[in-house]
Amino acid sequence: MEVDLCFVMDCTSSMEDHIEGAKSSIKKIVEYMANMKPAIIVRVGFCGYRDHCDGSNRLQIIEFTTSCDEFKNNVSNVSALGGGDSPEDVLGGLNAAVTSMTWRNPIRVLLHIADCPPHGRRFTDLDDDYPDGDPNGLTAEQVLREMRSAGIYYFFGKITKYTETMTRVFQSIIGEYPVFDFESTPDPEGLVEKFFDATCSAINTAITLRGE
């Protein structure tokens, strides 16, 4: 069983409290997956996104690898910084994960973790520098349908209530998908456990759906 697993994460300053826990979780997951060889071989990658005001720091991509140590070293360099208004470049991050990373294995899992929605009044009434939507012209329909065409299964880790409208819009485009609740997790250790369980659940779900 060969799996591509990509973590897509909001890496702006508002995520500071969660990002260290998430990084610890990812490292634990990678170690666990490494021990499942040869029954399940997992290539793991990462796409962090921030916002349009962050210039060269807007995207942070770690390509897929089967090397546990290589991935852990690379993800250690990810930090929470930047972000301007409340929404973030969610669509840009998802689009980069889908189109700029080298998906290869037949089972493809994307786990998205975020505390804020994309730009545009369609998704939020929070303060927004781009109320008309993505300044590069990306739409949720375009990004999510490209994701579906690539055979990638989407899962979401919810941290705040501010992403609820985004979830409704996304599900109206690609149908129901699992949403994991990280909102009510006050301590880092609890987050690690929830993150670990969510990732294993996402992989198992994708394997089941692929087999149908």
Residue range 44-80, pLDDT digits in tens: 999 999 999 999 999 999 999 988 888 888 888 888 8
Q: What is the chain's length?
A: 212
Q: What does each C-alpha distance from 179 to 72, 105, 117, 155, 195 come to in angstroms?
A: 25, 23, 14, 6, 12
**Cα–Cα distance measured from residue 89 to residue 135, given in angstroms and rounded to the nearest whole number:** 10
pLDDT at 188 over 70: no
pLDDT band at 88 (very low <50, low <70, confident <90, very high): very high
* pTM exceeds 0.85: yes
- Work out the mean pLDDT of the chain and round it to a whole number: 91
**What domains can you pick out in the chain, each with its CATH number?**
10-151+163-209 (3.40.50.410)
Task: Answer for the pair 169, 123: CB distance below 8 angstroms, yes or no.
Answer: yes
DSSP 3-state of 106: coil
| DSSP secondary structure of 149-198 | HTTEEEEEEE-SGGGHHHHHHHHHHH----EEE-TT--SHHHHHHHHHHH
**Cα–Cα distance measured from residue 160 to residue 152, given in angstroms and rounded to the nearest whole number:** 24
Lowest mean pLDDT among 16-30, 108-122, 150-164, 188-202: 16-30
Task: Answer for the pair 24, 192: CB distance below 8 angstroms, yes or no.
Answer: yes
- Structure-token pair, residue 167: 């979830």
Mean pLDDT of 76-101: 92
pLDDT the model gives residue 212 = 63
**Cα–Cα distance measured from residue 186 to residue 193, given in angstroms and rounded to the nearest whole number:** 12
Mean pLDDT of 165-172: 98
Lateral strand order in the sheet of 59-65: 59-65, 41-49, 2-10, 107-114, 152-158, 179-181
Give pLDDT tens digits for 114-153. 999 999 999 999 999 999 999 999 999 999 999 999 999 9
Task: Give the number of other CB atoms < 10 A from CB of residue 187.
Answer: 9
pLDDT at 156 over 90: yes
Task: Answer for the pair 52, 82: CB distance below 8 angstroms, yes or no.
Answer: no
